């Protein structure tokens, strides 16, 4: 069954993902303009697009564990998911800057004074070099360093999860579940041999 799925997925192009990625933000903008996003459409649009970005980035983190533990090979879609996630986070930031705060001095002040914004901005900054080098020429030029550079996605998504938890204020279930999912997916990337070695060293200490 997995082999059939893998064979089928090898024939599926990645470009439909990019086309489909444009639909949600366009819909949110339309819904906001037509009064379908409640009393504060800007905030609602900002949060929905940001959450969508986090969801897509979490989906990109699922690719390796699915291949390692289930044999499902979706590696060809990982770059697209990463770029789409960055696109949504960029739009999330753009809505905050252009439609929400608008005043440049206030934007700078919020980045320095509000920890959840500082953390969110840190996550975005970590993603910039990833998006900037996600094309074939950069991959060839960077060689093995490309893989090392793109490990920045791990702290970026983790900071994104923390940003979501802090944004909601208080210990709400939904953002905690997202953060737990990120942590679990990162832990799954630790090789099993290393886990066993560390456990045995603790037991013998």
> What would the pLDDT profile of 79-121 be if each residue is shown by its tens digit?
999 999 999 999 999 999 998 888 878 888 888 889 999 999 9
Both structure tokens of 189: 């990337």
Mean pLDDT of 150-162: 94
Mean pLDDT of 136-153: 88
**What pLDDT shows up at residue 203?**
52
| pTM for this model (two decimals) | 0.89
> What would the pLDDT profile of 45-73 be if each residue is shown by its tens digit?
999 999 999 999 999 999 999 998 889 99
Residue 83 makes CB contacts below 8 A (sequence gap 6+) with: 18, 131, 134
**What pLDDT shows up at residue 97?**
92
Residue 48 makes CB contacts below 8 A (sequence gap 6+) with: 24, 28, 37
Judged on CB neighbours under 10 Å (0-12, 13-18, 19+), 200 is: exposed
Both structure tokens of 8: 């089928």
How confident is the prediction for the chain on average, in pLDDT?
89
Helix H or strand E encompassing 166: helix 153-168
Banded pLDDT at 196 (limits 50, 70, 90): very low
Helix (DSSP H) and strand (DSSP E) numbers for the chain? 11, 0
Judged on CB neighbours under 10 Å (0-12, 13-18, 19+), 88 is: buried
């Amino acid at each position: 069954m997995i082999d059939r799925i893998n064979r089928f997925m090898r024939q599926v192009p990645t470009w439909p993902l990019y086309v489909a990625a444009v639909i949600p933000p366009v819909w949110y903008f339309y819904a906001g303009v037509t009064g379908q996003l409640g009393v504060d459409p800007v905030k609602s649009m900002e949060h929905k697009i940001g959450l969508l970005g986090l969801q897509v980035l979490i989906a990109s983190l699922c690719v390796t564990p699915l291949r390692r533990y289930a044999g499902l090979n979706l590696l060809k879609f990982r770059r697209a998911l990463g770029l789409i996630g960055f696109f949504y986070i960029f739009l999330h930031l753009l809505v905050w800057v252009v439609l929400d705060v608008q005043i440049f001095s206030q934007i700078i002040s919020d980045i320095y004074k509000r920890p959840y914004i500082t953390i969110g901005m840190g996550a975005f900054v970590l993603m910039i070099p990833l998006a900037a080098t996600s094309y074939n020429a950069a991959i060839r030029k960077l060689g093995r360093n490309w893989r090392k550079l793109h490990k920045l996605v791990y702290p970026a998504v983790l900071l994104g999860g923390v940003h979501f938890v802090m944004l909601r204020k208080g210990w709400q279930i939904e953002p905690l579940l997202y953060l737990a999912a990120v942590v679990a997916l990162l832990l799954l990337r630790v090789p099993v041999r290393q886990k066993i070695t560390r456990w045995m060293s603790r037991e013998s200490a």
